[in-house]
Amino acid sequence: MYRLFIVEDDEGIAGEVAALAESWDFEVSVCRDLRSVTAEFARVNPHVVLLDIALPFFNGYHWCSEIRKLSQVPIMFISSASDNMSIVMAMDMGGDDFIAKPFDANVLMAKLRSLLRRSYDFAPSAPVLEHRGAFLNTGDSTLLYGRERLELTRNEYRILHCLMENRGRTVSRETLMERLWETDCFVDDNTLSVNVNRLRKKLEGIGLRDFITTRVGMGYMLN
């Protein structure tokens, strides 16, 4: 079942498209906070995005470029502005397709399914994990925070990935060491501490202070 993420400020249109997509066996999520589109995108981890251009706070072009920093997920723009300049702008900002309002429901579904076939017959998207506005891209092992992109070593990535998968919960040192062993890199208790401290310094360097909390005698968790 494909996950569709709808970013549309008209609740009537969003509801109609959601109901239609669900009848075509899509799993649908509608963005509820148009100030935090990328955070909701990371939480949903969709296979395809339906993105309106005219949105409050920031327009669809802005959110398309923000999503493109995290993922190559296919994006279809929808807009009542169907002039050539709007279409060109949508494609230049990273969009994959465009449909003008008002649109025929069957045409919309056909275009979405065609976009999914073109995208996932060749390159499935890598999921993105998010915490406190920091986005971990599992495709290239980088962390994006604001305008900063952090390159992570293999061990740093494994540690952060495990913590972000379990955000809100304490992860034991033993669990983290087992995760690092999966990379054929045997680590002891001291080596884990060195890796965590190095990761903390990197995170602080891009403004993420106190991102990882030590739970004495228990392990680590995201703050």
Q: What is the pLDDT of residues 35-66, one digit of tens each?
A: 999 999 988 889 999 999 889 989 989 999 99
pLDDT at 89: 79
**Can you tell me the distance from the alpha carbon of 44 to that of 176, in angstroms, rounded to the nearest whole number?**
25
Which residue in this structure is represented by tokens 């045409």? 107
Position 27 scores a pLDDT of: 92
* Portion of the chain with pLDDT greater than 70, in percent: 92
Q: What is the Rg, in whole angstroms, of the alpha carbon atoms belonging to the chain?
A: 20
Query: How many C-alpha atoms does 60 have within 13 Å on its Cβ side?
Result: 28
Exposed / middle / buried, residue 74 (Cβ in 10 Å: 0-12, 13-18, 19+): buried
Q: What is the DSSP letter of 139?
A: T
Which pLDDT score is estimated for 125? 55
Q: Which residue has the higher pLDDT, 52 or 128?
A: 52
Contacts 24+ apart (CB under 8 A), 55-60: 55/7, 55/9, 56/9, 58/34, 60/7, 60/90
Longest dimension (CA), the chain: 62
The mean pLDDT of 79-87, rounded to a whole number, is: 72
Q: Please, are residues 29 and 3 in contact by the beta-carbon 8 Å criterion?
A: yes
pTM for this structure? 0.65
**Rounded CA gap, 8 and 61, in Å?**
13
- 49 with 73: CB under 8 angstroms? yes
